Structure 1
Amino acid sequence: MTNAITYPAAYNVLSCEEMTYTEGGVGVVEAAMAWFPLYGWYKAVSAIHDYRKANINSNWVENGMNALVAHAEKSPTNTIHDIGCSFWFIGSCATIIGLVPNALLIFGN
């Protein structure tokens, strides 16, 4: 007896990149929610934190900006979402009060 996995003849494996195009990227509701202060700020800080942890040994700031631009170019809703999140993140960094919590959240475990 062999343990073999058999797939249907029409089975296709999709990469994460292809799934973004299949699923359409960010939805309209999520793109609109990014313009609300707390949600947009939270999504931005958590995305930067996750990207930094995944790319700790690389130039994650420059590469992260390139990844943000690449994500925004995939669809109009991604662009709206990314601009909203960036707006709230930059706005919070512009204040000294917001800069410290942002740094603690991004560089924390």
Structure 2
Amino acid sequence: MENIMMLPASYCVMNEEEMTYTSGGANIVQAAAAVFIPIYGWIAGVSGIRDYRKAHPDNWTSTGSDALSKYMDKSFTNAMYGLGCTFWTVSSCFTGVGLLINAIVILS
């Protein structure tokens, strides 16, 4: 007995990068929240790093900044969202407690 998956003729397979174009990436509200609301920018930044680390367990430290750059190059709102998340995540690392909390969340 063979297990064969039959898909409709109009079925289209997209990778994660192509999904950004269909879902649109960050909208203006998300971008503004990431820039002006510190807790939102920090949570989005740290959880984004954690999700990327889980998706790329072997090379997340070497490819993460390139992936962020590619994401931010796609639109103005993505750039503002990425800058806001990056700013609040990095600035929280300047306190010893923030660095420890970020490490726990990212590596969990």
Give the letter for the 1:73 counterpart. Answer: D
- Runs ≥4 residues deviating over 6 A: none
Query: How far is 1:14 from its partner?
Result: 5.6
Equivalenced residues, count: 102
Gaps of 5+ in 2: none
Give the letter for the 2:12 counterpart. Answer: V
> 1:24, 1:75 within 8 Å by CA — same for their partners in 2?
no
In structure 1, the residue matched to 2:75 is 75
- In structure 2, the CA distance between the partners of 1:13 and 1:89, relative to structure 1 (3 Å rule), is same
1:52 aligns with 2:73: no
- What is the CA–CA distance in structure 2 between the aligned matches of 1:4 and 1:52, rounded to whole Å? 33
TM-score under structure 2 normalisation? 0.83
Identical counterparts, % of pairs: 43
In structure 2, the residue matched to 1:13 is 12
* SS at 2:25 equivalent: coil
Give the letter for the 1:18 counterpart. Answer: E
* SS at 2:87 equivalent: helix
Gaps of 5+ in 1: none
CA RMSD of aligned residues (A): 1.8
- In structure 2, the CA distance between the partners of 1:14 and 1:75, relative to structure 1 (3 Å rule), is farther
- What is the CA–CA distance in structure 2 between the aligned matches of 1:103 and 1:51, rounded to whole Å? 14
Give the letter for the 2:57 counterpart. Answer: I
Task: Report which of the two structures shows the higher radius of gyration computed on alpha carbons.
Answer: 1
- In structure 2, the CA distance between the partners of 1:51 and 1:17, relative to structure 1 (3 Å rule), is closer
Give the letter for the 2:56 counterpart. Answer: N
In structure 1, the residue matched to 2:104 is 104
- What is the correspondence of 1:80-99 to structure 2 with a 5 Å cutoff? 80-99=80-99
